[in-house]
């Protein structure tokens, strides 16, 4: 479990992005952070993998303060997916994914096998393996981003508006695939979106943030609707 405990983030210019936020994020479920642009969703996500340090409060992973382990160890346990996939433009699709197992010490061949397996897992035709990112549609690129995030087999996936840049039909497919992947692999997913429909569809629990970085509600989607 990830526990966010009374966390405040004040940027150097004085902006309070997150204000005394406390959340318990359960294992093996999808927790969605939703709210309008600027309400502190990305900042919260980045504090979980220490790309941003809280000004006050602490974040615990399985009971241990995340500052107590080396940041690289922490990040290896957390895949990160962003809006435009963040792929290496000069590497093929297979290499974009295989890079991760290579970095973790697998042989070239093992890494490529793992990458091919992950392409199938996220619904990508392996015929795309030799293409470059620009030769893929937006939806396909996002699938590569998800495959790469899964490549180290991290228990946690942090996802920042991963499906916002694709058209509605593809977005729905990606959402359905994420639900399937989550069910099959049992990942702990923290998913950021500004789209309440997406939050309700994907979230096991939904944290609604409001401008100023305050938590407005934290509940399963069904209870949210009745509130």
Nearest distance, CB of residue 175 and ligand ADP, angstroms? 14
Which range touches ligand ADP (CB under 6 A), out of 58-66, 79-87, 91-99, 137-145? 137-145
Nearer to ligand ADP, 116 or 128 (CB): 128
Phi, psi dihedral angles at 176 (to 5 degrees): -60, -40
Structure token digits, residue 122: 């996220």
Out of 1, 6, 15, 103, the residue judged to bind ligand ADP by CB under 6 A: 15
Query: Which residue is nearest to ligand ADP, using beta carbons?
Result: 137
CA distance 131 to 148: 15
**CB-neighbour burial class of residue 187 (10 A; exposed 0-12, middle 13-18, buried 19+):** buried
Told to check if 133 binds ligand ADP by CB under 6 A, we report no
Pairing relationship of beta strands 56-61 and 2-10 according to DSSP bridges: antiparallel
CA distance 115 to 117: 5
Nearer to ligand ADP, 40 or 79 (CB): 40
Q: Hey, what's the torsion of the CAs at 71, 101, 174, 137, to 10 degrees?
A: 110
Told to check if 142 binds ligand ADP by CB under 6 A, we report no
Pairing relationship of beta strands 205-210 and 30-34 according to DSSP bridges: parallel
Nearer to ligand ADP, 37 or 73 (CB): 37
Told to check if 42 binds ligand ADP by CB under 6 A, we report yes
Told to check if 193 binds ligand ADP by CB under 6 A, we report no
| Residue closest to 21 by CA, chosen among 11, 30, 10 | 10
Residues 46/98, Cβ–Cβ less than 8 Å: no
Out of 2, 4, 7, 17, the residue judged to bind ligand ADP by CB under 6 A: 17
Told to check if 111 binds ligand ADP by CB under 6 A, we report no
Nearest distance, CB of residue 135 and ligand ADP, angstroms? 4
Told to check if 126 binds ligand ADP by CB under 6 A, we report no
Told to check if 38 binds ligand ADP by CB under 6 A, we report yes
Q: Cα dist. 173→6, 52, 103, 139, 178 in Å?
A: 36, 31, 30, 9, 9
Tell me, by CB under 6 A, how many residues bind ligand ADP: 20
Residues 59/9, Cβ–Cβ less than 8 Å: no
Nearest distance, CB of residue 209 and ligand ADP, angstroms? 7
Told to check if 88 binds ligand ADP by CB under 6 A, we report no
Q: Which residues bind ligand ADP (CB under 6 A)?
A: 11, 13, 15, 17, 35, 37-43, 134-140, 170
């Amino acid at each position: 479990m990830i526990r966010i405990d009374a966390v405040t983030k004040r940027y150097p210019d004085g902006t309070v992005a997150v204000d005394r936020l406390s959340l318990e994020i359960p294992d093996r479920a999808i927790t969605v952070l939703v709210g309008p642009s600027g309400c502190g969703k990305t900042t919260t996500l980045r504090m979980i993998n220490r790309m941003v340090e809280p000004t006050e409060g602490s974040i615990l992973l399985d009971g241990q303060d995340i500052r107590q382990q080396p940041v690289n160890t922490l990040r290896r346990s957390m895949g990160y997916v962003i809006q435009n996939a963040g792929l290496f433009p000069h590497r093929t699709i297979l290499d974009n994914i295989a890079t991760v197992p290579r970095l973790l010490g697998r042989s070239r061949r093992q890494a490529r096998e793992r990458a091919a397996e992950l392409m199938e897992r996220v619904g990508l035709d392996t015929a795309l393996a030799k293409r470059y990112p620009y030769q893929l549609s937006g939806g396909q690129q996002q699938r590569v981003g998800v495959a790469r995030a899964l490549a180290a087999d991290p228990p946690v996936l942090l996802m920042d508006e991963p499906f916002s840049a694709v058209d509605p039909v593809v977005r729905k497919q990606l959402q359905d695939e994420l639900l399937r992947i989550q069910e099959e692999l049992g990942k702990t997913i923290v998913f950021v979106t500004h789209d309440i429909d997406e939050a309700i569809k994907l979230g096991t629990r939904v944290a609604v943030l409001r401008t100023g970085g305050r938590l407005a509600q934290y509940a399963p989607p069904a209870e949210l609707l009745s509130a």
